Amino acid sequence: MTLYRGATFEDPVEGMFIFMPAMVADDLDARFARPPIQAQYIKGSNRQSTWGSKRDLSIDQVATEWKTVRDQVLAQGLRVATHIQTPERQTGSVVVPENDWTKC
């Protein structure tokens, strides 16, 4: 598992902070697909790194891109989550298959 440290909601950089798209667990169907994002420096086909991460961008360019992504996440009815509690592992009638991800 990789740990990334960066700007937080409590300690933002130029108003930016790390977040993930989320829904409230109490919603009728709290599961959702990865939201499609259209941005200048982020390509939807990249799953692990952004095309723009290897470019020398100004803080204004980065902030504009961040706001574009945030606004698109919110426009799709999702929330901007900064802290998520990991749920307890479900057992019983649900079978949780063992793999590298479930062993983390």
How many CB atoms are closer than 10 A to CB 24? 8
Mind spelling out the 3-state secondary structure of the chain?
A: CCCCCCCCCCCCECCECCCEEECCCCCCCCCCCCCCCCCCCCCCCCCCCCHHHHCCCCHHHHHHHHHHHHHHHHHCCCEEECCCCCCCCCCCCCCCCCCCCCCC
Q: State pLDDT tens for residues 59-93.
A: 899 899 999 999 999 999 999 999 877 777 666 66
Q: Are 69 and 42 in contact (CB under 8 A)?
A: yes
Q: State pLDDT tens for residues 28-40.
A: 676 788 888 888 8
| Residue 83: C-alpha distances to residues 21, 98, 99 (Å) | 11, 26, 25
Task: Give this prediction's pTM.
Answer: 0.68
